[in-house]
A and B are shown apart, each in its own frame.
Chain A
Amino acid sequence: MTEQSPRVAPDEFPKRVNVGRRVFLGLSALGALGIAFGNSVQNFVGGAVGSGLGGLLPGGDRFRIYSITGTFPKITRVKYRLKVSGLVDQPTTFTLADLQSMPKTSFTKAFQCVTGWRVPDVHWEGVKLSDILDRVGVQSNAVAVSFDSYDHADTESLTLDQAHLPDVIVAYSMLGAPVTTEHGGPVRLYVAPMFGYKSLKWLSGIRVVDAVEAGFWEQNGYPINGWLDGTTGPDNPDPGLT
């Protein structure tokens, strides 16, 4: 397109229009508009027609399933165990039934990935992490909580303050059904105020510790504080790791 168009006598050939360049630039402009406003469009359409129909719009309501190891650890609901240990008065191993017998917390909140995709209006149900910590009794020298996964690869951490937020839960139900294996079932963490990488899947252990340990994604360069707004302040304290 950088070269001159072929010179043809006007009477020999009909007039030509550079349709190619126009359509090319038009499609590129659509792409640019989509980058700038696609998020608003999705939220608007999703809000206007309800979350059920939002799933029909590409990019809306769609989970991207990530796994560090490339496979899903398969744990049956019967054999599932959550081991709580570390700086606690009563180290305890919970079964799924144990967790389900505890006070239930449920709410509907979005799942926001740090890479940009977002699933609005996800229904979550489980036990507040703070309830579990209260049950086992956190010792006075404890500072943070570390999480382990059945995939033996992912780890995560929260400060004790963060762990006590009311929308940080150990979830056994998601999207109105038991958490599926690909979503991290039977039991996963859901840290609502932070990006998705903090919501560790296939939760196998909770360790109460005396210092914040950088988890798998943090060791790979993600912020140790995954706050959705990217801020750190009095309400969003930084655990002091870099």
Chain B
Amino acid sequence: MTLTQTPAKSLRVVRFDRVQRCTHWATALLFFTLMFTAIPLYFGSFFGIVMPRHVIEMIHLWTGLALPLPIIVSLIGPWGKAMRHDVRRINYWTRDEIRWLRTLGKTEIEADKFNPGQKLNSIFVGASILVMLVTGAMLQWFRFFPVPWRSGATFVHDIFTYAIFFVIFGHVVMALTHREALRSIFKGWVNRSWAERHAARWLHEEQRDDLGP
């Protein structure tokens, strides 16, 4: 998380380290597998076309169980410094950021590494992983739960599915229309000029850290 030292690259700032990029893409792959297998499980008329239902079920089940693993592994090890740092960034909001979100971006903020919308997206994805894991497990091992709870778990799993499709679609659209931010999740860096415009507070903190105590 430092400015690179070579003069030619000094215009670049590292936004995501290798661990973060791997975590993002592993989670994305799992999410898309889950969403892709969810469609034939939900709309029965689709299945049988590609593979039998029980195969799709098995893929969906094991992918779902694996879903939290990349994030957990990336957070717990000595390699997870940048991840943990960003989780704190996403957790803590300034009053200005709350106001920015309330007014749907019409007020001024000194932007953090992530804007409040991006923060909200991450929080939603994190919470939905937990909720989907719990309700999905209840549907798989339903025998341990009373029937009304099974119905409730189905209800929640369905509603969050709708929300996840909506949010992920929005995430992809925003990524495709913001090329510089998109590149940073592939290559890790952004231009300093971009950071000055879109993440000034983060850039200043990075620079202050670089100067040392």
Q: Are B94 and A27 in contact (CB under 8 A)?
A: no
Chain B count of residues within 8 A CB distance of the other chain:
54
Q: Are A37 and B84 in contact (CB under 8 A)?
A: no
Q: Are A31 and B131 in contact (CB under 8 A)?
A: yes
Question: A residues engaging B (CB < 8 A)?
Answer: 1, 3, 5-6, 13-21, 23-24, 27-28, 30-31, 34-42, 58-60, 62-72, 112, 114-118, 182, 228, 230
Q: Are A24 and B127 in contact (CB under 8 A)?
A: yes
User: 17 A-B Cβ contacts within 8 A?
Assistant: A5-B92, A15-B94, A17-B93, A18-B91, A20-B93, A27-B127, A31-B134, A34-B155, A35-B153, A36-B152, A39-B151, A66-B44, A70-B48, A115-B139, A115-B150, A116-B142, A116-B154
Give the CA-CA distance A114 to B139 in the complex, in Å: 10
Q: Are B45 and A65 in contact (CB under 8 A)?
A: yes
B119 within 8 A of A: yes
Question: B residues engaging A (CB < 8 A)?
Answer: 41-42, 44-45, 47-48, 51-55, 84, 87-88, 90-98, 119-120, 122-124, 126-128, 130-131, 134-135, 138-139, 142, 147-162
Interface of B is mostly: helix
Closest chain-A Cβ to B50's Cβ sits at a distance in Å of 10
Interface of A is mostly: loop
Give the CA-CA distance A69 to B41 in the complex, in Å: 14
Give the CA-CA distance A235 to B165 in the complex, in Å: 46
Q: 4 other contacts beyond A67-B47, A118-B151, with CB at 8 A cut-off?
A: A20-B90, A27-B123, A58-B159, A58-B161
Give the CA-CA distance A41 to B135 in the complex, in Å: 17
Q: Are A71 and B52 in contact (CB under 8 A)?
A: yes
Q: Are A115 and B91 in contact (CB under 8 A)?
A: no
Q: Are A116 and B147 in contact (CB under 8 A)?
A: yes
Given A59-B155, A66-B53, A116-B147: A21 touches B91 (CB 8 Å cut-off): yes
Q: Are B152 and A1 in contact (CB under 8 A)?
A: no
Residue of B nearest to A25 (CB): B127
Give the CA-CA distance A64 to B55 in the complex, in Å: 16
Q: Are B149 and A69 in contact (CB under 8 A)?
A: no
Give the CA-CA distance A16 to B89 in the complex, in Å: 10
Q: Are B152 and A38 in contact (CB under 8 A)?
A: yes
The 6 closest A-B CB pairs, nearest first, are A65-B44, A70-B52, A116-B150, A20-B91, A38-B155, A38-B152
Q: Are B156 and A31 in contact (CB under 8 A)?
A: yes
Q: Are B52 and A69 in contact (CB under 8 A)?
A: yes
Q: Are B95 and A27 in contact (CB under 8 A)?
A: no
B residues in contact with A15, CB < 8 Å: 94-95
Give the CA-CA distance A6 to B51 in the complex, in Å: 50
Give the CA-CA distance A3 to B142 in the complex, in Å: 36
Given A13-B94, A64-B41: A58 touches B162 (CB 8 Å cut-off): yes
Q: Which of A24, A38, A63 contacts B126 (CB 8 A)?
A: A24
Give the CA-CA distance A65 to B44 in the complex, in Å: 5
B residues in contact with A228, CB < 8 Å: 147
Given A19-B119, A31-B156, A64-B42: A38 touches B151 (CB 8 Å cut-off): yes
